[in-house]
Amino acid sequence: MDSSLAARLDALFAPYQRSDTPGLVVGIAHGDALRYRRGFGMASLEHSVANTPYTRMRIGSVTKHFACLAAMLLAEAGKLDIDAPARSYLPELPARDSDPTLRQFMNHSGGERCFLDLFMLTQGLSMVPAGAALAMQARQSEHNFPAGERAMYTNGGYQMLSIVIERISGMSFEAFLAEHLFGPMGMIDTIAAPHDMQILPGMATLHVRDATGGWERGLLPGWRCLGEGAIVSTLDDMLRWIAHLRGEKRIGSAATWREMLTPVRFNNGEVGTYSLGLMQTRYRSVSMLHHSGGSIGGACQMLTVPEHGLDIVIMTNADTINPIALSKRVIDIVLEAHLSPVESRPATSVEYPAWLGTYHSRETGAYCEIVDRDGTLHLIHHNLVIHPLPLKLVPNRPRTLALDDGPEGALYLKLHSDGTRLDMTQCGQSQTLDRLANAAPHAADAANGLVGRYVSLDADALAIIKQESNALAMSVQGRHGAAHYRLDPKSNDMLAFTPHDPSSMAYGAMRLSRDGSGNTSCFRLDTWRTRNLLFTRIDDGTTP
């Protein structure tokens, strides 16, 4: 890499070269040669240890395609059928009209709820024991959607896939990956680490920004993370793996890799962006094969542009750094001469003021806000206010805005001409949301008939709703911990909920059902990854 490119990359990452904050490590290969390999910021603020190219970090959900390849190796050996119903291998799971297959677990089209989302909703960051994930998946009487109808990102399917790998192979998930993947590839610093209580040599501490501007230690909230996000690795090991991913294969047959790279096809014939633990999308006319991953206090992006032999690994140990955005800036710099202009431009609030507002579907539970952030429109999906998503114009599609392709594919929004309704389309499935009135009900009015105790059998949790001064609050007690939320009325029968303390993690919406007297008999919670979670009122005479 010439000195001018290196200087531009140094400038890109210079803001993270500090001794008072955590940071990241960056590895870039281009044309089958290592071009850039550096560490920035601190691996441990507690012990004043800097990040280096040798620092080990969690890769989060980048683990998923390793889990898929492990399953495919068992399929090659005739021991596993990824198109068989998952219940063939996990009879503990509930029967459904259309049981999801292992393949649907792998491409997120199975429709099952996610144990991790349910645990974070009901007990925040409390540590959950080994075995709790399968128990939570097994107790679900309802699902998010019928298998194959669409995609919704879920860690639960990958936890289940990993258990199947263990049962069929007779080995632990960690041992199977070490023997069949990491060892043959020479990935000597890579392991599957099921929890963050282990002391691992050379491992960066995960850091979470606290409310005062300081830092807290990040920890996975459980003792048995598997194929959903267990791997710890280094730049050198991951660059070695990406070169294998886009080049000649040493592990897995040609048929296996065709399966690994075949995008999901939904029941309606629509084709998505997600295959088996990997995504294939385009950016400025180049095709990318990639996956990102997040942990509590860190993130990772693994990306290759095969046609140009460009491989990028960025791993962070701070929850304030976005490696996905940084990886695209690396593409801008390294492949500048090969890129087309940006295909679409942001939607501005000056041009599209009529879109600003709050929308909800009583039928499906879909809830979103379109807000102004620095002059451009952003979507807040299911009240996830910490993660507003920029909206862009869609060429040749009037009155339509979109999000960049994600694991579930592109999401399109179309505002009706009268401005009262919004069509939301993803995976070929459309739903219509109604615009909510700007003036929301007062909390005191919403409290009438709502305050009380409610139980969810699927979540194995008790919710207590109270009125505190002029505000509404909900405390949820799960089997292993509790979470606390603020409730904000948005309409007469819908409220949004937001974490009330740092250890509570979920954001979403609450739909109320009332009896003939106007009292709430039950409600359903909808989050980004959980739909229709039922809580029913308990008439036990207890005052909340």
**Average pLDDT over every residue of 159-170:** 98
Please write the tens of the pLDDT for every residue from 174-218: 999 999 999 999 999 999 999 999 999 999 999 999 989 999 999
pLDDT of 45 higher than 80? yes
CATH, domain range 443-537: 2.40.128.50
Whole-number pLDDT of residue 542: 59
Burial of 258 (0-12, 13-18, 19+ CB in 10 A): exposed
Residue type (1 letter), 480? H
The CA distance from 252 to 277, in Å, is 15
Cα angle, residue 64 at apex, residues 288 and 119 outer, rounded to 5°: 125
Closest CA to 497 of 215, 222, 120: 120
Give the other-Cβ count within 10 Å of 350's Cβ.
9
Whole-number pLDDT of residue 74: 98
DSSP state of 488: E
* Contacts (Cβ under 8 Å, ≥6 apart) of 525: 121, 497, 508, 509, 510, 533, 535
> What residues does CATH 3.40.710.10 cover in the chain?
57-111+146-338
> What residues does CATH 2.40.128.50 cover in the chain?
353-435, 443-537
pLDDT of 543 higher than 60? no
H-helix or E-strand containing 462? strand 461-468
Judge contact between 535 and 525, C-beta under 8 A: yes
Whole-number pLDDT of residue 444: 86
Please write the tens of the pLDDT for every residue from 413-441: 999 999 999 999 999 999 999 999 988 88
Please write the tens of the pLDDT for every residue from 283-325: 999 999 999 999 999 999 999 999 999 999 999 999 999 999 9
Structure tokens at 278: 């990997």
Using N-to-C axis directions, what is the helix angle for 63-76 and 156-169, rounded to 10°?
40
**Average pLDDT over every residue of 358-382:** 96
Whole-number pLDDT of residue 21: 97
Please write the tens of the pLDDT for every residue from 467-477: 988 899 999 99
Three-state DSSP state, 491: strand
Cα angle, residue 477 at apex, residues 490 and 161 outer, rounded to 5°: 95
Three-state DSSP state, 70: helix
Place of tokens 């000056």: 350
Cα angle, residue 513 at apex, residues 534 and 386 outer, rounded to 5°: 60
Judge contact between 410 and 402, C-beta under 8 A: yes
Judge contact between 102 and 161, C-beta under 8 A: yes
For domain 57-111+146-338, the CATH architecture is 3-Layer(aba) Sandwich (3.40)
Three-state DSSP state, 86: helix
H runs (alpha helix) in 348-402:
none
Can you give the pTM of this predicted structure? 0.96
Whole-number pLDDT of residue 342: 80
Higher pLDDT, 107 or 98: 107
Share of the chain above pLDDT 70, in %: 99
Please write the tens of the pLDDT for every residue from 501-510: 989 999 999 9
Q: Name the CATH code of domain 353-435 (choices 2.60.120.620, 3.40.50.12780, 2.40.128.50, 3.40.640.10).
A: 2.40.128.50
Closest CA to 493 of 475, 507, 514: 514
Closest CA to 51 of 292, 314, 290: 314
H-helix or E-strand containing 477? strand 471-477
The CA distance from 314 to 331, in Å, is 13
Please write the tens of the pLDDT for every residue from 51-92: 999 999 999 999 999 999 999 999 999 999 999 999 999 999
Q: Phi and psi at residue 213, in whole multiples of 5°?
A: 95, 0
